[in-house]
Amino acid sequence: MEAQLARDILREAFGGIVYQIADLLIQRYPGGTSLSAIVTHEAPTSPSTVRQALIVLLRHNLLKVSKNALDGGSSLVYAIRLPQVITRLNFPEYGNQASELFGNIVSHRLV
């Protein structure tokens, strides 16, 4: 259920290739996988487009990147941070609280 909620949030927030990559990581590789596995699975998508989608997720703190313990840390493993995705549901409340505390100027900058 948590995974489905995260998928819905990501579809609404990002759509397109970013959602497709995130969805792949959530459904097929919940423990994470390598860039080469993602590129192989998303064959029609170029490796640079996959990298750009991963960067978008990383910039939003929705992607965990770690060294692969199976190969001595020479490659990276990518996984979606489900709790951080679900936290995005609270963003409107953050704006409301900022507006109450600091006025509309600050809350507009958050949005």
H-only helix segments in the chain? 2-13, 16-27, 35-41, 47-59, 82-87, 91-102, 104-110
The residue length of the chain stands at: 111
Helix (H) and strand (E) counts in the chain: 7, 2
Q: State the pTM of this model.
A: 0.80
Q: Which phi and psi angles does 44 have, rounded to 5°? A: -70, -15
> Cβ–Cβ contacts within 10 Å for residue 96, how many?
12
- The CATH architecture of the domain made up of 2-110 is Orthogonal Bundle (1.10)
> Domain boundaries in the chain?
2-110
Return the CA Rg of the chain: 16
pLDDT (tens, 9 = 90+) of the chain, 111 residues, equals 899 999 999 999 998 999 999 999 999 998 899 999 999 887 678 899 999 999 999 999 999 999 987 777 678 999 999 999 999 887 777 777 777 877 766 655 655
Alpha-carbon gap, residue 24 to 71, rounded angstroms: 22
